Amino acid sequence: MIIRDATPDDAESIWDIHARSVQELCRADYTPPQIQAWAGHRTVEDYRERIQSSPFYVAEIDGKLVGYARFSPSTNVLCSIFVDPDHVRQGIGTALLREVCEDGARRGLIHFWLDASLTAVPFYESGGFVREQDTVHAFSGVDLECVRMARCLGPGDESGDIRIERFQASQADAVSHIVRRNLTEVNSRDYAQDRIDALVAYFSPEKIEENSRSQCTFVAIQDDQVVGTASLDNFGSAESPDYYAVTVFVLPELHGQGVGTRLMRAVESEARWLGAERVTVRAAITAKDFYLKLGYSFRGGVEELDDNRNYIMEKSNSALVVETG
């Protein structure tokens, strides 16, 4: 088996693999109308255009196409992986998944996201994806039940030094330690001691774990140790969300080495996935320049401290468009 870049000449074979895979492999999980809508929603020309506009790989055995995979670097979406029904359980899907994940990491992506079909959930779980939530994806006006899943790709550089992961409860002590060190060693230069003491008391391991249940929390890992953290929180409502990046801290000795930038990229990727119009931060005085370098601007164009001596800064976020199949 070889894996190579797709060419426009592959479009017809790709279309056939998609249609047959849906019709033969997914019928146990979906109704005939759902299968018909899903299998028929793309044309050969659709695939030809996608081959020329996004990273698109095919798997080939003895000159015959037996699978394909495609992703969108601009949205972090793993758009599709399909294998010819006559060649399933031969490691083809796994090889394609490995190829696109390696390509995504080389391009600096932090995560992949997708709406997995019910049929494909076990495959993606075996490939390191985790369930986010149940969702629905529409094809030609017909709804299909899906599972939104995500996977960290690890570092987006060649060093392999830092990786970004979802927070786990077992990491609460380490995260609390990082936050408290920053408060006492860095933020204390600009804020009154009584406020620092209150924040140190607040960010206990128990509070870190509690907050993680309502926030999307990431950690940066180096040499199997937690070295940074950042979270995305919704200060609005489900109907009118207002997303904030919160609790963004890196071990003081690693400041200026790109760890915070990597964490913020993960937060912003999550926000795009959720369709956020913007991400807001309450930047400490010492963090102002960091957020300016990331493209954040002062709310209303005015550089001023709020009552808590923080800068309110914002960054526009284009809504993530999920595409599957």
The three-state (H, E, C) secondary structure of 109-176, written as one string: CCEEEEEEECCCHHHHHHCCCEEEEEEEEEECCEEEEEEEEEEECCCCCCCCCEEEEECCHHHHHHHH
Token representation of residue 251 = 């071990």
Residue 130: per-residue pLDDT:
82
- d(C-alpha 87, C-alpha 65), whole Å: 10
| CA angle (260 as vertex; 254, 264 as ends), nearest 5 | 170
- DSSP track, 214-231: TSEEEEEEETTEEEEEEE
Token representation of residue 117 = 């079909």
In tens digits, the chain (325 residues) has pLDDT values of 999 999 999 999 999 999 999 999 999 999 999 999 999 888 999 999 999 999 999 999 999 999 999 999 988 899 999 999 999 989 999 999 999 999 998 888 878 889 999 999 999 988 888 887 888 988 889 999 999 988 877 544 333 467 788 899 999 999 999 999 999 999 999 999 999 999 999 999 999 999 999 999 999 998 889 999 999 999 998 888 999 999 999 999 999 888 898 888 888 878 877 778 899 999 999 999 999 988 899 999 999 999 999 999 999 864 333 344 5
Residue 295: per-residue pLDDT:
86
Contact partners, residue 217, CB within 8 Å, separation at least 6? 166, 167, 175, 211, 229, 230, 231, 247
Max Cα separation, the chain?
72
CATH class of 162-316: alpha beta
- d(C-alpha 325, C-alpha 318), whole Å: 22
- d(C-alpha 53, C-alpha 46), whole Å: 11
CATH 3.40.630.30 fits 2-152, yes or no: yes
Residue 317: per-residue pLDDT:
61
Beta pairing class for 64-72 and 77-83: antiparallel
CATH 3.40.630.30-classified regions of the chain = 2-152, 162-316
Beta pairing class for 216-222 and 225-234: antiparallel
Phi/psi at 270 (5° precision): -60, -45
Residue 159: per-residue pLDDT:
35
